[in-house]
Copies of this chain bind each other. A is one copy, B any other.
């Protein structure tokens, strides 16, 4: 039986998810919803599926088995709570909320419910990052010592976006915090972060934000994760992961559109640009994510990345903000 999944939110990411669900061999697109009905109608028409008039209508629909929440961040918690009440398994884009208090309220409200809630930390599903982790778990580099994550956007987002983003740690680094937790295999106990304003200093000043950061995470056993972010990599969306163990190293490199190299006077090995942004770079991963969601529902297995993972990534973001502000290492238990 195909899982009938409705997509809430028909913005850039929602439309991508709708396309992936529609094309997925184990799922069917059960319909779409957006507060902007025009956006919803366009998306629904494209895939020949119903357009719901409200999120309540989605949750009430008998022919919707599960929901994918890709609406704006501020609505995530409400929608998660509603979906849980309706008993519909949830795949929700990150973050749960920008405010840790709201996340914790959501946590209390959903309580002991066994409705599956999966968080869309898509990088966990990247075939490269995943293959590196599997090789590590298989012992190919011995005991893990350091995780090094390089994550750079191709260019500064619009100021409108930055203003409501919650800041780089909650908006951008949060992916890397989750990926670090996934790869470390142990909980992070301490966070040290540094932030600079180099790409667009006036905007960063105005928003009290940073565009260039480094964060060092430590686990109780001393494993480290070193994360660097920049809002601007002129050469493309740069996404690399390096794992150092006592017997070797694994690197998950960037992907490209093709593997053509050009060799001319003064420049050899010239390769194709990096895939420009997350929809292209993680296109495989977004599909694997849908598969993982469908599989966990069907096999009644726990989701691979759940509500608590969403909460903990936000806790690390809070710790990073505190570390930058107070110029010191912040213990994760100080946050929550």
Known: A260-B131, A261-B269. A194 touches B192 (CB 8 A): yes
Known: A214-B226, A226-B214. A235 touches B248 (CB 8 A): yes
Q: Number of A residues whose C-beta is below 8 Å from B?
A: 73
Task: Determine if B258 and A131 form an interchain contact, defined as CB atoms under 8 angstroms apart.
Answer: yes
**Residue A199 interfacial (CB < 8 Å):** yes
The residues in A between 253 and 277 inclusive whose CB is less than 8 angstroms from any CB of B are 253-274
Q: Give the distance in Å from the alpha carbon of A271 to the alpha carbon of B249 in the complex.
A: 12
Task: Determine if B272 and A271 form an interchain contact, defined as CB atoms under 8 angstroms apart.
Answer: no
Known: A228-B148, A252-B260, A260-B253. A216 touches B194 (CB 8 A): yes
**Residue A173 interfacial (CB < 8 Å):** no
**Residue A251 interfacial (CB < 8 Å):** yes
Query: Could you say which of B23, B232, B249, B263 contacts A23, with CB atoms under 8 Å apart?
Result: B23
**Residue A16 interfacial (CB < 8 Å):** no
Closest chain B residue, CB of each to CB of A258: B128
Query: Could you say which of B148, B249, B264 contacts A140, with CB atoms under 8 Å apart?
Result: B264
Query: Closest Cβ of chain B: how far from A192's Cβ, in Å?
Result: 6
Task: Determine if A273 and B269 form an interchain contact, defined as CB atoms under 8 angstroms apart.
Answer: no
Closest chain B residue, CB of each to CB of A245: B234
**Residue A222 interfacial (CB < 8 Å):** yes
Q: Give the distance in Å from the alpha carbon of A135 to the alpha carbon of B271 in the complex.
A: 12
Known: A198-B145, A228-B146, A228-B148. A261 touches B251 (CB 8 A): yes
A196: which B residues are within 8 A, CB to CB?
145, 218, 222-224
Task: Determine if B233 and A244 form an interchain contact, defined as CB atoms under 8 angstroms apart.
Answer: yes
Q: Give the distance in Å from the alpha carbon of A102 to the alpha carbon of B265 in the complex.
A: 41
Task: Determine if A230 and B262 form an interchain contact, defined as CB atoms under 8 angstroms apart.
Answer: no
**Residue A109 interfacial (CB < 8 Å):** no
Task: Determine if B327 and A262 form an interchain contact, defined as CB atoms under 8 angstroms apart.
Answer: no
Known: A196-B218, A251-B260. A265 touches B228 (CB 8 A): no
Q: Give the distance in Å from the alpha carbon of A145 to the alpha carbon of B211 in the complex.
A: 10
Task: Determine if B223 and A145 form an interchain contact, defined as CB atoms under 8 angstroms apart.
Answer: no
Task: Determine if A244 and B145 form an interchain contact, defined as CB atoms under 8 angstroms apart.
Answer: no
Known: A146-B230, A216-B216, A236-B268. A263 touches B247 (CB 8 A): no
**Residue A246 interfacial (CB < 8 Å):** yes
A228: which B residues are within 8 A, CB to CB?
146, 148, 226
**Residue A143 interfacial (CB < 8 Å):** yes
**Residue A152 interfacial (CB < 8 Å):** yes
17 extra interface residue pairs, beta carbon distance < 8 Å, beyond A142-B234, A269-B271: A127-B258, A143-B198, A196-B218, A196-B223, A198-B223, A214-B224, A214-B226, A232-B246, A234-B247, A235-B263, A247-B265, A248-B263, A249-B264, A250-B262, A251-B261, A253-B261, A327-B329
Q: List 10 A-B contacts (CB under 8 A).
A: A127-B257, A128-B258, A141-B264, A142-B234, A146-B230, A212-B224, A248-B263, A265-B273, A270-B270, A270-B271
